[in-house]
Amino acid sequence: DAKTTQPPSMDCAEGRAANLPCNHSTISGNEYVYWYRQIHSQGPQYIIHGLKNNETNEMASLIITEDRKSSTLILPHATLRDTAVYYCIVRVGTSGSARQLTFGSGTQLTVLP
């Protein structure tokens, strides 16, 4: 299984961009990178996902390096409500166990006023 490595915690000033890194050096060519976040006691919230190209939606941008071994989630203007645990997940393969999401420990992002 492709595994991900994320820093355990990060701080960001309110209004500034939050850049959350993720290392997935063993990713395979057909594996997507997903980002979710979880605010305490709530279900994980989908943020964005991508295969090889950079992606942007109303919540965030996802930058995937050319070799696909790492990615960065960018929250362009962080607010206090963005304080959460952010999970970077590589979805493994296409069959059987591939359909599940394997969550690591994630990054606790704290947005400071």
Partner 1 sequence: KAGVTQTPRYLIKTRGQQVTLSCSPISGHRSVSWYQQTPGQGLQFLFEYFSETQRNKGNFPGRFSGRQFSNSRSEMNVSTLELGDSALYLCASSFGAFEGNTIYFGEGSWLTVV
Q: Pick between residue 13 and residue 39 the one whose CB is nearest to partner 1.
A: 39
- Give CA–CA dist 63/68, Å, rounded: 10
Nearer to partner 1, 14 or 55 (CB): 55
- Cβ 91 to partner 1, closest distance in Å? 5
Beta-ladder partners of 91: 32
Binding residues for partner 1 (CB under 8 A):
30-32, 34, 36, 41-46, 49, 51, 87, 91, 93-94, 96-105
